[in-house]
Amino acid sequence: MTVGLAIIAYLVGGIPIGVLLSDSRGIDIRKYGSGNIGASNVLRALGVKAGVAVWLADVAKGLLPVLWSRPLLASIATIGPMELWISLVALAVVVGHCFSPYLKLAGGRGVSTSLGALLAIDWRVGGLILAVWIVVVAVSRYISLGSILAAVSAPLLFTLYTDSPYYLALGVVLAILIIERHRPNIGRLMTGTERKIRQKAEEIAEEPSDESDQ
């Protein structure tokens, strides 16, 4: 059952909402701005409404599979710690977003989907992670910096609000994954060339680089 739920979570997480929405508008979001399929690039390329829609959908992708799995996983809790099974489902849905089976294992950076999964596990942890993201983005105007610092806060917050080693391990793995997916952004932050939140995404003239597959 756990394997089946993890596979379903992976397939749900892999649904490329940003690509589907941009295709409906007649553009390929992978050819604009950073080439990323997530909400931040959609925001720059298609505007606030489209960006918010993609963000909410990506959060829901992480939230719903974890919530749906809880009552089913409760039936096998005697086989092992329920926190372990929930963590595996949560990780599967985020991996699906980052390495989508529908995009030849390309995908997004996993921030919004991770938020949804963590909200389903512990709303306090998820809520504070969102608060960290909002504060950092409001002050710096860098979405990527907010995402990185919010990811780093996940293991720390799990340490404060839970004694489960499985949730702590999940927080560490998600933080590492998100930081790894933001390597191009980290490089641009260090050189001062990273786009700020209000900067519009321009069309990419050449073929998308490795960065665009993140």
State yes or no: pLDDT of 9 exceeds 70. Answer: yes
**Model pLDDT, residue 165:** 94
The per-residue pLDDT for range 13-69, each reduced to its tens digit, is: 999 999 999 888 888 888 887 778 888 888 888 888 988 999 999 999 999 999 999
Q: Are the C-beta atoms of 113 and 97 separated by less than 8 Å? A: yes
What's the average model confidence in pLDDT over 203-210? 41
Instruction: Give the pLDDT confidence score for residue 76 in this predicted structure.
Output: 65
Report pLDDT for 93. Answer: 97
Other CB atoms within 10 Å distance of the CB of residue 136: 20
Quote the CA–CA distance of 6 and 10 in Å, as a whole number: 6
The full 3-state SS of 6-60, as one line of letters, equals HHHHHHHHCCCHHHHHHHHCCCCHHHECCCCCCHHHHHHHHCHHHHHHHHHHHHH
| Identity of the amino acid at 74 | A
Q: What is the pLDDT of residue 80?
A: 66
Q: What is the mean pLDDT of residues 84-104?
A: 95
Q: What percent of the chain has pLDDT over 90?
A: 57
The distance between the two most distant Cα atoms of the chain, rounded to a whole number of Å, is 56
The pLDDT assigned to 131 comes to 97
pTM of this structure: 0.86
Spatial CA neighbour of 114 closest among 3, 44, 13: 13
- 32 forms beta bridges with 203
CA–CA distance, 154 with 75 (Å, rounded to integer): 28
* Residue ranges covered by each domain of the chain: 2-200
Q: What is the mean pLDDT of the chain?
A: 87
Give pLDDT tens digits for 104-119. 998 889 999 999 999 9
